[in-house]
Structure 1
Amino acid sequence: MGGRARFVLSFIVFPALLSFAWYSIFWFARHNGLRELVKALVKERSLPESSGILRTRYTGVQSIDRTLAVLTVFFWPTTDGSAPSLSLHTFVFAGAFGSAWALILLESWRQGNARTLPAIASIFGLVAQLFTFAISASLYCGLHLWFSPVSVQPKPERIVAPETVVRVLPFIFVVGYIIPCVGVILPTPGVISVDAKQVLIALWQPFPGYVSLLAFVAHLLLPHRYSSSISKRIALRIFYSASFWLAAITHAVGWGVALTSVLLPALFNEKIVHALHPREVFGVTWPSSDFRVTSLAEGVHVFLQWDFLIGCHAVLLWAAVQNALAQRRITGRVNWFGLATTVVGCETLFGPVAAAVHLMRLRDELLLQPVVRKEIRSRLNKRSSEVVARRR
């Protein structure tokens, strides 16, 4: 896969995904009535399916407070459990989004990406929160593929990241992402007040900044020591395992519940069994249709379905290309059949982002394998020399 292929992907394919994301998400939201509905709720200071009053003051800065109020209204139906199909879809989306962002944050710490655009992960994270995951992922993946030295010429030394950071990233995501996600779904008013929940939703928004800052602080404060390539590979395996299972488990649970509602509908309340049908949860409504929203939850669900579908597959395509580039670098050719089989099988069983994580893990293993083998041989030779010296 040479420069021409990277050019086509970076400047045609990913920009096309970005354009379609804008059309299917923002253009469609304006034409199906979602945008007007959100604006009306903000103007009335109302929360959907709630008697609470919308909070409109957080920082005292009007533009920021206005943005947070809009985001609070938008995300409210994803957190209150009033729409089962939206809640189940959000659960799957949350796992995939967290894993995808873990991959991007790791890329920002790669030695080969230092002082390049892919190193500024927090900026792309905030773009995802303000302008959707689909747009941010398409933008990041296209830029990474063209500007990142890791993509241009993948080498073992270029994919190395500080072992301390790699080891703490799973814990950072628990603190900076998973715990806040749990916080925003706490029920009101039984556990927290309506106002407190709005504050939690607002605080959750800049989570990419939280995890980036925590990673930087860990890099500064935690002790650094020389570590072998074997130790670094183990740290990467732990990171990839945590990221994989976050996406895979949420995917499996989401689809498991949806399919069970079809196969064993008697297990569910009659009022929600239809809402849990796979078509209702994961199906998409085409922007070219004359669809009009009848509730905020319905509009948000349609919005997030496209956001999820485009964003996740942008990351999967990027990971597949990274894997192919590494294969070309190490073996001189790309096993396209094996790559396609891995993508299809892994996505079907574990979801698109889990498949992307798996492909990136294979990429790293392939690039690090010669270095690790050399280190193992060096260790064995050293031990053999020590044994011979002792016998003498």
Structure 2
Amino acid sequence: MARTNKPPRGSSKPVVPQTKRPLNGLFVLAFAGLSAISTWFMRVETVAKGVPINFNTVLETGHFDNGTPVETNYTGIKVIDEIAKFLVIAFLEGTAGWDAGVHAQQLYFLLQWFAVVSVWSIESKRRRNAWKAVSFVGLAAFVYQLIGAAVIAPLYYLVYVITSRDDAYYFQGRELSAGSAVLLLPAVVISYLIPTVVMYYPWGDVKTAQYLTAIWQPTPAFVSILISVFSFLVPSSSPTAVAKNGDIKHLKRVYLIVGLVTTVAHVGTLYTCLTSDDPRLSLGYVFLPNRTTWKDSMGLGLHYIFQVDFFGAFSSSLLWCWLVIYDVLRILGKPTAADLIKTVLGIAFVTIVAGPGTAIVAVWNWREDRLVMIENGVKGTWEKSKVA
């Protein structure tokens, strides 16, 4: 990031401003609009057009179009089993590997989403967000599993926009508790990453695939619960708990590991698509929604919905990334239009080269140091300070 023309001041006791984010209502409308657009394309138009075809038939008859029986008993609790059955039918074209392109798209989507799960978990555990709406990420995850991340994620960001509208929001409470900071990475890996990889492993048995798909469904919501449980394992006398900004090194580790996972997923998927002779593994088939084929089969209709979900979820997430950078730049200095454009181009570049998940954690890694600078009273520069 560039420097401002103002000479930097050293660390001092911060003066908490009374200012607010400019045009905050515009950001609220932007995220509300993104949610509404995704709702239309994912849930309204598809229902009106009868997409995906035969979905209700499969639900009612208990058999997929290829004759595979639908598993109906996962927990013995009827309402939970009905929800699980619905979601398993939606995912199975990919998790069972029936369509290589669907499998590639779903796995790519969920591995990139690992970054969002991690960042939401971090924000939920910051002291300044305690018991605020943005801290209830488990509830948000439960709802987006049922409705779609493209619909719910923008609403989460809308809540963040409202919560953080006062610039004073950034001047205290950045830190996570010692337990949350130390054990957040193991929690997200155990409760989200491992189940995701296991679900898409080619087991060669459809029944196993259905059970693993059902088991995976609540995992995004379990992350925050597991973090809270694990946090009790770190004593209050630990170095992380005692040291000022002791959580930083642990958060940096989260950003590094998550970034490696999302980058490998991105590069690996692109390599597969660019080198495969299978037309179902072309970039267009894997990533681009195709309305000319969405009624050809139930699988292709669901594939279309997953593709729309992907673009809706990450377009709002990347806008959120730009917003949090904008806030930091405003508070630490006076960014020019060129600075803000460079930020957009930087996010876009990392997204294309390393994936949207990598772009998200790269932003959070950069931002973490600047949040420390804000709390330390640094002004006039957004270059990393030695005192941060």
User: What TM-score, normalized to structure 2?
Assistant: 0.85
- Measure how far apart 1:125 and its partner are: 0.6
Opposite residue 198 of structure 1, the aligned amino acid is Q
- What secondary structure sits across from 2:232 in the alignment? helix
Distance across 2 between alignment mates of 1:341 and 1:105:
27
Q: Does 1:241 align with 2:256?
A: yes
Equivalent of 1:351 in 355, 364, 388? 355
Partner of 1:9: 27
Over 3 Å counting, the alpha-carbon distance change for 1:257 and 1:197 in structure 2 is: closer
Equivalent of 1:46 in 49, 63, 70? 63
Q: Does 1:201 align with 2:232?
A: no
- Measure how far apart 1:328 and its partner are: 0.8
**Unaligned 5+ runs, structure 1:** 262-267, 379-392
* Percentage of pairs with the same residue: 21
Cα contact 1:91–1:254 (8 A) shared by 2: no
Partner of 1:383: none
The structure that is helix-richer by fraction is 1
Distance across 2 between alignment mates of 1:194 and 1:292:
24
- Measure how far apart 1:290 and its partner are: 6.4
Equivalent of 1:364 in 342, 356, 368? 368
- What secondary structure sits across from 2:69 in the alignment? coil
- Measure how far apart 1:372 and its partner are: 7.3
Partner of 2:346: 342
Cα contact 1:118–1:144 (8 A) shared by 2: yes
Partner of 1:167: 182
How big is each residue's C-alpha offset from its partner over 1:301-333, in whole Å with a ceiling of 9 and x where there is no partner? 111111001101111111110111011111243
- What secondary structure sits across from 1:201 in the alignment? helix
Opposite residue 247 of structure 1, the aligned amino acid is T
Opposite residue 71 of structure 2, the aligned amino acid is R
User: What TM-score, normalized to structure 1?
Assistant: 0.84
Distance across 1 between alignment mates of 2:52 and 2:191:
29
Opposite residue 106 of structure 1, the aligned amino acid is I
Partner of 2:13: none
Equivalent of 1:324 in 326, 330, 344? 326
How big is each residue's C-alpha offset from its partner over 1:178-207, in whole Å with a ceiling of 9 and x where there is no partner? 22123323445x5xx543432221111111
Cα contact 2:52–2:295 (8 A) shared by 1: no
How big is each residue's C-alpha offset from its partner over 1:207-243, in whole Å with a ceiling of 9 and x where there is no partner? 1232111100011232233343453221121111122
Cα contact 2:101–2:281 (8 A) shared by 1: yes
Structure 1 segments, 4+ long, off by >4 Å, are 289-292, 370-374
Over 3 Å counting, the alpha-carbon distance change for 1:221 and 1:163 in structure 2 is: closer
- Measure how far apart 1:111 and its partner are: 1.1
Equivalent of 2:282 in 277, 281, 285? 277
Distance across 2 between alignment mates of 1:47 and 1:152:
53
Moved more, 292-301 or 332-341: 332-341
Cα contact 1:112–1:148 (8 A) shared by 2: no
Opposite residue 197 of structure 1, the aligned amino acid is A
Distance across 1 between alignment mates of 2:172 and 2:242:
14
Partner of 2:163: 147
Over 3 Å counting, the alpha-carbon distance change for 1:114 and 1:238 in structure 2 is: same
Partner of 2:5: none
Moved more, 58-67 or 324-333: 58-67
Cα contact 2:101–2:286 (8 A) shared by 1: yes
Structure 1 residues 1-392: aligned runs within 5 Å: 2-10=20-28, 12-49=29-66, 51-148=67-164, 152-155=167-170, 157-188=172-203, 190=204, 193-224=205-236, 225=238, 226-229=241-244, 231-261=246-276, 268=277, 272=278, 274-285=279-290, 292-333=294-335, 335-369=339-373
Over 3 Å counting, the alpha-carbon distance change for 1:99 and 1:365 in structure 2 is: same
- Measure how far apart 1:373 and its partner are: 10
Opposite residue 337 of structure 1, the aligned amino acid is I
Distance across 2 between alignment mates of 1:74 and 1:305:
13
**Unaligned 5+ runs, structure 2:** 1-18, 379-384
Over 3 Å counting, the alpha-carbon distance change for 1:330 and 1:3 in structure 2 is: closer
Distance across 2 between alignment mates of 1:96 and 1:231:
28
- What secondary structure sits across from 1:46 in the alignment? coil
Over 3 Å counting, the alpha-carbon distance change for 1:259 and 1:60 in structure 2 is: same
Opposite residue 216 of structure 2, the aligned amino acid is W
Distance across 2 between alignment mates of 1:86 and 1:48:
16
Distance across 1 between alignment mates of 2:289 and 2:235:
48
- Measure how far apart 1:58 and its partner are: 2.9
Over 3 Å counting, the alpha-carbon distance change for 1:86 and 1:166 in structure 2 is: same
Cα contact 1:113–1:148 (8 A) shared by 2: no
Partner of 1:384: none
Distance across 2 between alignment mates of 1:317 and 1:247:
18
- Indicate the RMSD between aligned Cα atoms, in angstroms: 2.5
Moved more, 133-142 or 245-254: 245-254
